[in-house]
Structure 1
Amino acid sequence: MRNLVAALAVALLAGCTTPSDLRNTNPVFTASTQKSPKQYALCVLPKWQDLNAGASMSETETGYRLILANPGVGQTDEVLEVSRTQNGSIVKHFQRIAWQQLGRGAVSDAVRSCI
């Protein structure tokens, strides 16, 4: 019984995805914008919060990072990196399962609509 519980715990932890895990993959969308990182991030954040109240934004050394997580299963589903450039910002959108777009159209639309 103890082995079964340990195996189940390991299996659950293996399914966890962190923002760092996602940033180590290729972005599903990359674009540049003339908006500052803060302007762009503040455009996307309320749209993501409408879809998932757990959406969060944090400041980084070069701009902002937005995270859309699924707290019920302990994994990050979306990461948006917004970095300052000489003429505005570069935007990189990472998804946990990029090929699985079911239910994610509004998330991607928000990223694109703010460009």
Structure 2
Amino acid sequence: MRILIAALGLVILAGCASMNERRAEGPARSFTSQRDVTTVAECVLFAWQNQSLAGVHYDVTIQPLPSGGKTVVSAGQIEFADFTKTDRGSSVDLYFQSGLMDWRKNRRIEAVKSCL
């Protein structure tokens, strides 16, 4: 029984890559907007905060992106979006934790698209 619990723990931890590791793997989706970084990032922040996923509202925060720009990140870094300035507005790179269900990804993507 202990071996089964230990194996399950390792499987769960395997899906928990750091934000920088996920960035190195590349975004799951990318978008562009003619709106500025702050406007788009704050829109996504409020949209994700207001979303109910399977009846639960998850904590979502906004933080500065080390290379400039902003990051909107959900509790536990399950998903996050990086917003960077471009010549024509901003770009959005969206990242998801591995093993995340498609319906949740689709809800987050819809929220991002509504803010572009």
Q: How does the TM-score come out when normalised to structure 2? A: 0.75
Question: Structure 1 residues 29-38 or 98-107, which shifts more?
Answer: 98-107
Which is helix-richer, 1 or 2?
2
Report how many aligned residue pairs link the two structures. Answer: 109
Amino acid at match of 1:77: I
Paired residue for 1:45? 45
Q: Does 1:59 align with 2:45?
A: no
**Separation in 2, partners of 1:13, 1:31:** 29
Partner Cα separation in structure 1 for residue 30 and residue 22 of structure 2? 14
Measured at CA, do residues 30 and 102 of structure 1 come closer, stay the same or move farther in structure 2, by a change above 3 Å? same
> In 1, Cα distance between the equivalents of 2:95 and 2:37?
17
Runs of 4+ residues deviating >2 angstroms: 7-10, 12-18, 97-100, 102-105
| Percent identical residues | 24
Asked if structure 2 preserves the Cα contact closer than 8 Å seen for 1:25 and 1:94, the reply is no
Unaligned runs of 5+ residues in structure 2 are 52-56
Distance (whole Å) between structure 2 residues aligned to residue 24 and residue 100 of structure 1: 22
Does the C-alpha gap of structure 1 residues 102 and 91 become closer, same or farther in structure 2, counting only changes over 3 Å?
A: same
Please report the RMSD computed on the Cα atoms of aligned residues, expressed in angstroms: 2.8
Native 8 Å contact 1:17 1:77 kept in 2 = no
Distance 1:15 1:87 in 2: 35
Deviations 1:4-63 (A, max 9, x none): 6xx469625434232122212232221211111101001110111123431111012421
CA contact (8 A) 1:77 1:96 kept: yes
